[in-house]
């Protein structure tokens, strides 16, 4: 019996030694502090310049000085179901209070401020997508600006891409929806 106790004592001593050695040299997997490993922390050091011809993730760079300069801009956002849905949502949030849900300027505010009917042939046929984008961006006589090209302004400002989605909806979805609503 003494031999068995002696043998188990030796096993325990070997086990304790095996457990103690890694901790002495800090070799446990959980003993490494991942926060202090070699890495670049956010806002640390100088920012490297973007590669040539790169496109920012936050949107499409569009720089124009004013609404008139935006007249000939071409909408870079393809007209598809997702764009029309996004444009419709943004239209209802930002535009419907004055232009009405159907775009026919039927809201209580429309007559007081002179909001135009966005389904009118003049808007649909004569106004370019760039002009509409510029009007949303810079505003007009009574309409406030909902974005400043190239920079983010107030809390109501739409991104460049969001403004193009609204233009897609104005030109390709609003008239169809207003005709369905009229039936």
- CATH code at position 130: 1.10.760.10
Q: Are residues 83 and 18 in the same domain?
A: no
Which tokens is 141 given? 């006589």
The three-class DSSP label of residue 148 is: strand
User: Which residues partner with 148 through β-bridges?
Assistant: 151
Q: Which residues of the chain fall below pLDDT 70?
A: 1-5, 7, 18-43, 45, 47, 54-62, 148-155, 178-183
Q: Does 169 lie in the same domain as 80?
A: yes
Position 132 in a domain? yes
Does pTM top 0.75 for this prediction?
A: no
**Residues 174 and 96 grouped into a single domain:** yes
Tally of residues, the chain: 183
Q: Within this chain, do residues 98 and 174 fall inside the same structural domain, yes or no?
A: yes
Residue 101, in any domain of the structure:
yes
Q: Are 79 and 169 found together in one domain?
A: yes
Instruction: Please check whether residue 12 lies inside any domain of the structure.
Output: yes
Name residues whose C-beta falls within 8 Å of residue 162's C-beta, 6 or more positions apart in sequence: 86, 90, 147
Q: What is the pLDDT of residues 158-182, one digit of tens each?
A: 888 999 999 999 999 988 876 666 6
| Secondary structure of residue 13 in the 3-state scheme | helix
How far CA 77 is from CA of 14, 67, 74, 133, 166, in Å, comes to: 70, 19, 9, 12, 10
Range of the domain at 6: 2-29
């Amino acid at each position: 019996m003494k031999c068995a106790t002696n043998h188990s004592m030796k096993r325990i001593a070997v086990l304790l030694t095996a457990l103690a050695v890694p901790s002495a040299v800090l070799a446990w997997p959980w003993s490494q502090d991942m926060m202090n490993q070699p890495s670049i922390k956010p806002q640390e050091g100088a920012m490297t310049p973007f590669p040539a011809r790169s496109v920012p993730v936050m949107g499409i760079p569009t720089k124009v000085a004013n609404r008139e300069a935006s007249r000939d801009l071409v909408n870079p956002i393809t007209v598809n179901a997702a764009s029309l849905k996004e444009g419709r949502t943004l239209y209802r949030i930002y535009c419907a209070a004055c232009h009405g849900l159907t775009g026919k300027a039927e809201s209580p505010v429309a007559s007081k401020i002179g909001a135009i009917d966005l389904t009118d042939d003049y808007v649909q046929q004569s106004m370019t997508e760039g002009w509409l984008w510029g009007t949303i961006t810079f505003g007009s006589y009574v309409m406030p600006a909902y974005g400043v090209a190239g920079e983010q302004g107030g809390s109501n400002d739409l991104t460049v891409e969001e403004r193009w989605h609204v233009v897609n909806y104005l030109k390709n979805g609003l008239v169809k929806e207003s005709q369905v609503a009229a039936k």
